[in-house]
Structure 1
Amino acid sequence: MSFLASVMLAAALGAAAEPKQIYQMTPQEAGAFIAEQRRAEPDLRKRIAAIGRRNIGQPYKLNLLGEFPYELHDTLPMYSLEASDCLVFAEHTYAMALSGSWEEFFWTLQRIRYKDGVIGVASRNHYMEVDWNTSNRWLLTDASNGASYAMHVDRALFLKTQHHVQRDIPVQDSVQAYLPVAQAMAQFSTLDEGDMVEVVSVRKGQHMVTHVGLVVLDTQGQRRFLHSSAPQVREEPFEDFIARTQARASNGLAGFKFLRLNDHIVVPPAAPQPRP
């Protein structure tokens, strides 16, 4: 065998041995990966970090999930391996880490995405503060304090204008706690692997969560921010994320919410799916 052929063969074997990232997997391969992670890593926090890192490089795509084929208001699917936005990345990572098979992952994903696990655009956890965080208290606990902002949520108007769906839902007002940027930077080192960070920004004069990511530890035990943001999933120091965000004109960065992973997690059963 010639030297060039030997080099090419070695390169091919090396490429073949390189493990796939999740976004390169088929559902069947992802199911096997989920089962292996459950067997190999009993620590949920470490499993969250390992699964999240196996999606580094996943392309970013905004607003890519819906209820199809359960509902036909759009044609967006109920899961995505190929791409993610910030919330899709976090939800898929948590659901995979809590599961031992593809089937359990898909069920858990919907339990996270929807209030009581009832599938439908009207029951999806659209607003992080008053929907997602509240519905997933079994998974994470909001540990934010230091400042606050008021929220005025009109779900009926949102569903009508964004999804062309009519629902009679009362308007909700709430007050949300958060950490201003300097306080969040000082407290980031107290977070544990698997905790969630929510970015609070000001949009049109209103505070709201506009981005989310996960906390992971590097080999020196330093906390880092793992998240899906254009152009792809990345891991970086928290201060680098803040600096890059603040460098953008009109970034609106106000602070952060810190949600801590609960110590003893039992995924609750879903409510019965109502007949259409």
Structure 2
Amino acid sequence: MLASLLIAAAALTASAEPKQIYQMTPQEAGAFIADVRRSEPDLRKRIATIARRNIGQPYKLNLLGEFPYELHDTLPMYSLTASDCLVFAEHTYAMALSASWEEFFWTLQRIRYKDGVIGVASRNHYMEVDWNINNQWLLADASAQPGAPSYAMRIDRAQFLKTQHRVQRDIPVQDTVQAYLPVERAQQEFATLGEGDMVEVVSVRKGQHMVTHVGLVVLDAQGGRRFLHSSEPAVREEPLETFIARTQARPNNGLAGFKFMRLREAIAVPPAAPQPRPTAGGA
């Protein structure tokens, strides 16, 4: 009898626990977004609250696409059930900036695409020269500090789109130089970041520096900074030092340093540019 009561009590407790976002339906997620907006006026705290409500969300690569707007694949335009590192960050920011499901979905596309124009060619594929530049209204690059090293990149979007998405576009090659903070210096600067700021991990792959992973800054109960991010097997929160040690323990990890993106103090989501009318014959 006692055992049955304990089992029933445990089941009742489990059912009373609030769902994580990845366990919600879109209708439940919309209600959650509206509730957080009403209950927490501080954007930075909303970002942390929403991000933590996705701890445990399964990690999965190649989640999103433009379907049904474009037909180069059948991947959807949002995901609640799983995330990769960028999907997790984009969804968190979009939810924190919104008061309804409809506003979240619109804001998400504004963050994912240049000027909010949906299309594989206008998606922010490269963090340094697409995502960071096109989302300057949201975050500012804090990596260009005195004495900070830099790396050169050559971006061939036309080749990338042709190889990865079988889409033909005439886009010129772009050269850029990007500042970053080496690991030891980044560990010191991490303590100056605020809740809701973005951390971008810079790695060396085939001799080329590039951003390969992103996550968000949150504060613990004592005010210490922690790294909250989507990484296999699931979304987790941990000290940056733990992430660094685990990464450096992997052979040929290539960890070079970090770029830090600071959340702007006054944010107004800019309007999207008009969606261009398709031409005859499509893409």
> Normalising by structure 1, what TM-score?
0.99
Offset from partner CA, 1:81-117 (integer Å, 9 cap, x none): 0000000000000000000000000000000000000
Map of 1:99 onto structure 2: 98
Map of 2:281 onto structure 1: none
Distance in 1, Cα, partners of 2:118 & 2:156: 20
Distance in 1, Cα, partners of 2:250 & 2:11: 42
Distance in 2, Cα, partners of 1:44 & 1:163: 36
Map of 1:144 onto structure 2: 143
**Candidates 220, 223, 244, aligned match of 1:221:** 223
Map of 1:108 onto structure 2: 107
Distance in 1, Cα, partners of 2:243 & 2:252: 16
Unmatched segments (≥5 aa) in structure 1: none
Map of 1:271 onto structure 2: 273
Distance in 2, Cα, partners of 1:66 & 1:249: 32
Deviation at 1:8, TM superposition (A): 2.0
Map of 2:203 onto structure 1: 201
Q: SS at the partner of 2:121?
A: helix
**Are positions 1:78 and 2:80 aligned together?**
no
Offset from partner CA, 1:134-190 (integer Å, 9 cap, x none): 000000000003110001000000000000000000110010010011110111000
**Are positions 1:27 and 2:53 aligned together?**
no
Unmatched segments (≥5 aa) in structure 2: 279-283
The one-letter code of the counterpart of 1:267 is V
Distance in 2, Cα, partners of 1:218 & 1:9: 33
Distance in 2, Cα, partners of 1:260 & 1:147: 19
Map of 1:231 onto structure 2: 233
Map of 1:181 onto structure 2: 183
Distance in 2, Cα, partners of 1:13 & 1:206: 53
The one-letter code of the counterpart of 1:161 is T
Distance in 1, Cα, partners of 2:52 & 2:206: 34
Equivalences for 1:157-172 in 2 at 5 Å? Answer: 157-172=159-174
Map of 1:243 onto structure 2: 245
Distance in 1, Cα, partners of 2:4 & 2:19: 25
Deviation at 1:5, TM superposition (A): 2.6
Q: SS at the partner of 2:143?
A: coil
Distance in 2, Cα, partners of 1:206 & 1:45: 33
Map of 2:254 onto structure 1: 252
Distance in 1, Cα, partners of 2:170 & 2:179: 28
Distance in 2, Cα, partners of 1:252 & 1:123: 29
Distance in 1, Cα, partners of 2:245 & 2:3: 46
Distance in 1, Cα, partners of 2:15 & 2:116: 39
Q: SS at the partner of 1:257?
A: strand
The one-letter code of the counterpart of 2:72 is H
Identity %: 82
The one-letter code of the counterpart of 1:38 is R
Distance in 1, Cα, partners of 2:221 & 2:123: 37
Deviation at 1:4, TM superposition (A): 2.4
Decide which moves more: 212-221 or 2-11.
Answer: 2-11
Q: SS at the partner of 1:49?
A: helix
Distance in 2, Cα, partners of 1:4 & 1:238: 43
Map of 1:49 onto structure 2: 48
When the two chains are superposed, the root-mean-square deviation of aligned CA atoms in Å is 0.6
The one-letter code of the counterpart of 2:194 is D
Deviation at 1:63, TM superposition (A): 1.3
**Candidates 141, 153, 156, aligned match of 2:155:** 153
Distance in 1, Cα, partners of 2:163 & 2:115: 24
4+ residue runs over 2 A deviation: none
Offset from partner CA, 1:14-69 (integer Å, 9 cap, x none): 01111000000000000000000000100000000000000000000011100011
